[in-house]
């Protein structure tokens, strides 16, 4: 009861911050810790010397305090050290991240649509940049409408005009096409456009059995094209949306494969651990990138806009490269038999022979599988020697 009365005198925000910071601590430390902080806040509030904002400011320091105690708690430090030596924890963490991403994206819905949603291959876009400074649309709008109404290759889906004539957002377009009724509310970039001046393009769907070349030919026969536009360009939406997949996907696959090369494992167990790490870490990068690609806007003619190109082309490759470097360095410092991190580094070599032999650093497997001697220069490649120890229980 006394505790409740005391708590009520403390500002709500400070109480929340204390609870959050206290959650970092183990139960045996938390009781005294939270008692001290609450007492300080209670007396400060009662004496009315400090404002609520000042108390909030003071309460923020509770995180630093809790973190300090956590780091210096012997049992926790030991657990953190064990976690660093663990083989399964990073894999479990990556699996949890993947599951979390899957839940957040409804089972990688965007990525699956992108990869397997073949319907978007039949959806196409007839680029019709808005007339500018006396120029005309590529194909006269009325003739496009006539083609859609009377053509044998396409189905009518609606005209659209974008506020920005060169960019439309993939998701609202797809949503509009697949489920028009409930998607219109959140379709803020694309508008159905009865106004001819705002008419900047057509989204259509090929009739079953019709081909893109046939549709282009039919449109060319139906419409009187403006000079310079001998063949109307119809672009499948699937091609626009999937444009980054081939180059970036190939690069990531290549990086994943070359990450497997420096594993140097000597047992099936070790190989399985190593492959799991590589596969899961690259799966995380690929899953995130696919979801981002599925949500990206695209332009009428050139795929994603240049602002997004960094995210969809450069970032995944950079992430894959960094991952490869980390996996390569990590694999070098692990036991070739059980894949545990090697410990207890000691310098080996003779100081008198340092001119001829620079010596090296020896690390041991904590499960007594062997020792690895590497060059004394960090990151030196090609100077490592693994000594397998005989199994004492064999």
Partner 1 sequence: MPERINLTYTSGLILHAIATGQSYGFDIIDYTGLPSGTVYPALRRLESAGLIESVWDHKNADKSGGPPRKYYRLTRPGRDRLHTLRARYPLLEKIAD
40 binds partner 1 (CB under 8 A): yes
Applying CB under 8 A, among 65, 119, 216, 330 the residue interacting with partner 1 is 65
Applying CB under 8 A, among 11, 13, 24, 42 the residue interacting with partner 1 is 42
384 binds partner 1 (CB under 8 A): no
Which residue, 40 or 119, has its beta carbon nearer to partner 1? Answer: 40
Applying CB under 8 A, among 72, 106, 118, 182 the residue interacting with partner 1 is 72
Applying CB under 8 A, among 15, 50, 156, 239 the residue interacting with partner 1 is 50
Which residues is 168 bridged to in the sheet? Answer: 298
Least distance CB 53 / partner 1 (angstroms): 13
29 binds partner 1 (CB under 8 A): no
Applying CB under 8 A, among 14, 38, 334, 338 the residue interacting with partner 1 is 38
Applying CB under 8 A, among 6, 130, 191, 222 the residue interacting with partner 1 is 6
377 binds partner 1 (CB under 8 A): no
73 binds partner 1 (CB under 8 A): no
Residues in binding contact with partner 1, number by CB under 8 A: 26
227 binds partner 1 (CB under 8 A): no
26 binds partner 1 (CB under 8 A): no
78 binds partner 1 (CB under 8 A): no
69 binds partner 1 (CB under 8 A): yes
Which residue, 6 or 130, has its beta carbon nearer to partner 1? Answer: 6
Least distance CB 27 / partner 1 (angstroms): 18
2 binds partner 1 (CB under 8 A): yes
Which residue, 33 or 199, has its beta carbon nearer to partner 1? Answer: 33
Which residues are near partner 1 by CB under 8 A? 2-3, 6, 9, 35-36, 38-40, 42-44, 46, 50, 57-65, 68-69, 72
């Amino acid at each position: 009861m006394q505790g409740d009365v005391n708590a009520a005198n403390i500002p709500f925000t400070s109480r929340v911050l204390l609870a959050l910071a206290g959650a970092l601590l183990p139960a045996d430390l938390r009781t005294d810790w939270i008692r001290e902080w609450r007492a300080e806040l209670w007396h400060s509030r009662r004496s009315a010397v400090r404002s609520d904002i000042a108390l909030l400011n003071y309460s923020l320091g509770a995180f630093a305090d809790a973190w300090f105690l956590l780091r210096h708690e012997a049992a926790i430090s030991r657990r953190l050290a064990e976690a660093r030596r663990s083989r399964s924890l990073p894999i479990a963490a990556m699996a949890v991240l993947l599951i979390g991403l899957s839940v957040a994206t409804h089972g990688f819905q965007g990525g699956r649509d992108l990869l397997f949603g073949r319907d978007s291959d039949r959806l196409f876009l007839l680029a019709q940049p808005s007339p500018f400074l006396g120029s005309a649309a590529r194909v006269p709008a009325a003739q496009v409408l006539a083609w859609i109404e009377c053509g044998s290759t396409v189905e009518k889906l609606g005209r659209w005009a974008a506020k920005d004539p060169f960019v439309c957002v993939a998701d609202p377009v797809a949503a509009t096409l697949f489920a028009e009724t409930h998607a219109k509310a959140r379709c803020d970039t694309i508008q159905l456009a009865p106004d001819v001046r705002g008419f900047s393009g057509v989204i259509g769907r090929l009739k079953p059995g019709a081909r893109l070349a046939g549709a282009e030919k039919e449109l060319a026969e139906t419409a009187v094209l403006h000079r310079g536009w001998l063949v109307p360009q119809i672009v499948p939406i699937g091609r626009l949306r999937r444009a980054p997949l081939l180059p970036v996907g190939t690069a990531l696959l290549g990086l994943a494969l070359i990450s497997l090369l420096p594993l140097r494992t000597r047992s099936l167990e070790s190989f399985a651990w190593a492959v799991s790490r590589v596969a899961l870490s690259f799966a995380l990068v690929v899953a995130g990138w696919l979801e981002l690609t599925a949500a990206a806007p695209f332009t009428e003619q050139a795929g994603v806009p240049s602002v997004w190109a960094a995210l969809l082309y450069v970032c995944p490759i950079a992430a894959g490269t960094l991952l490869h470097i980390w996996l390569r360095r990590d694999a070098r410092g692990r036991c070739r038999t059980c894949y545990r991190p090697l410990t207890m580094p000691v310098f080996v070599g003779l100081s008198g022979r340092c001119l001829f032999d620079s010596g090296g650093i020896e690390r041991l497997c904590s499960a007594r599988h062997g020792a690895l001697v590497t060059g004394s220069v960090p990151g030196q490649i090609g100077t490592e020697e693994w000594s397998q120890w005989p199994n004492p229980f064999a």
